Structure 1
Amino acid sequence: MAVTPSRARKFSSAIGEDAVRFGDGILIAPALGKEVGRSMSAYTSFFQMGARADLPAPYAEVWVVLSGALRVGAESDAVTVRAGDFVHVPEQAPGVVEALEDTTMVCVSVPAH
């Protein structure tokens, strides 16, 4: 089992060559995986304007929007988050995430996945 390093680590929010395509218009660039982060994982995500994804996931996340804007949630409960905002997406939260503009965000998940 990997041991979490006992030092601060720096990550870039840039979308690099290691990014994975998730549906149409969504890229995910891994940073902190469960093999190192153990209890959490973190990644950068890019949503092209108009890209959509279903929300329900078996883990909670916090998304920090670096640029752009997203609509997150189910119908009348949905919230809009913009650059400088962050949103908590609870485990099994209903709804969708939709990019209102090209959007880059950093995501932290608990538990790690």
Structure 2
Amino acid sequence: MAVPPSHARKFTSTIGPDAIRFGDGIVIAPALGKHESEAMSAYTSFFRKGARADLPAPYAELWVVLSGALRVGAASEAVTVRAGDFVHVPEQAPGMVEALEDTTMVCVSVPAH
């Protein structure tokens, strides 16, 4: 079991060389992972305009949009989020995410994965 640190830590939203690429147009840069925290994970994600991904995940996430715009959810329940907005994506939420513009966001997942 990971022991959480007892002090504040700073992370960057910069996409660095350790980033993981998914398909054409999605890049994820890990910041806080399961090895550091049992409670949550955090990462920066970049979606190139037009990139799409399915939503269902076995954990809840909170996405904070730093720049750009996304459409998130299923059909008539989908929402558009823009720079400065955040969206809660519940565990097993149906639908997909689509980048309406080049978009950078910070994602926090609970529990850690």
TM-score by length of 1: 0.98
1:71 matched to 2:87? no
For 2:105, give the aligned amino acid: M
For 1:16, give the aligned amino acid: G
Moved over 3 A (4+): none
User: 2: distance between equivalents of 1:33 and 1:96?
Assistant: 23
User: What residue ranges of structure 1 are gaps of 5+ in the alignment?
Assistant: none
Confirm or deny: 8 A CA contact 2:72 2:78 kept in the other structure. yes
User: What residue ranges of structure 2 are gaps of 5+ in the alignment?
Assistant: none
Q: Deviations over 1:20-40 (max 9, x none)?
A: 001210000000001112110
After TM superposition, give the deviation of residue 74 of structure 1 in Å.
0.3
1:51 matched to 2:51? yes
After TM superposition, give the deviation of residue 2 of structure 1 in Å.
3.1
Q: Deviations over 1:57-104 (max 9, x none)?
A: 000000000000000000110000000000000000000000000000
Count residues with an aligned counterpart. Answer: 113
Aligned to 2:20: 20
TM-score by length of 2: 0.98
Aligned to 2:7: 7
User: 2: distance between equivalents of 1:112 and 1:6?
Assistant: 18
Aligned to 1:112: 112
Q: Share of identical aligned residues, percent? A: 84
